[in-house]
Amino acid sequence: MDKGNLERMADYIETIPQEKFDMWKFRTGEKVDHECGSVGCATGHCTVLDENPLPLDKSGDIDFLAWSKEFTGLDPDSDEWLYLFAGDWAAVDNTPTGAAQRIRYVNRNGVPRYWYNEVKGRAPLSYF
């Protein structure tokens, strides 16, 4: 886990206006450059923090999962990645502040024991 890059993400996410943020989708539109410029989630917006070329999938779109794995050091199938970036957050806490706080919480404490219940809205949020 790259705690430095995760902290950079948290700082940047807090600057995203709510109307431009949605945990359900990486981005809207077909932009394939670093700057998002559309509604998107924590991962979609934060590609702007990386100066390296963005990985593309077979259709020529950004491979956000591959980018996220490289930038954060977290496997998209891991509990950490799912707790931080799962689209299910859109129904529970779909805010840039919440996304930033989750990142900071994981950097300090690791993933909460009952993280899955938080993501599903069945347990209190541990990061506030």
pLDDT (tens digit per residue) in 37-89? 666 788 888 999 999 999 998 988 889 899 999 999 999 999 999 999 999 99
Q: Which residues pair with 27 in a beta bridge?
A: 40
**What value, to the nearest 5°, has the Cα angle with vertex 100 and ends 109 and 98?**
95
pLDDT (tens digit per residue) in 81-111? 999 999 999 999 999 999 999 999 999 999 9
pLDDT for the residue 66: 94
User: Helix, strand or coil for residue 43?
Assistant: helix
pLDDT (tens digit per residue) in 110-124? 999 999 999 999 999
Q: Annotate 46-61 with DSSP letters as a single string.
A: HGGG--SPPPB-TTSS
The contacts of residue 31 (CB under 8 Å, 6+ apart) are 37, 38
- Determine the angle formed by the axes of helices 96-109 and 3-13, rounding to 10 degrees: 160
φ, ψ (nearest 5 deg) of residue 40: -165, 175
Residue 10 binned pLDDT confidence (cut-offs 50, 70, 90):
very high
Query: Mean pLDDT over residues 16-31, rounded?
Result: 83
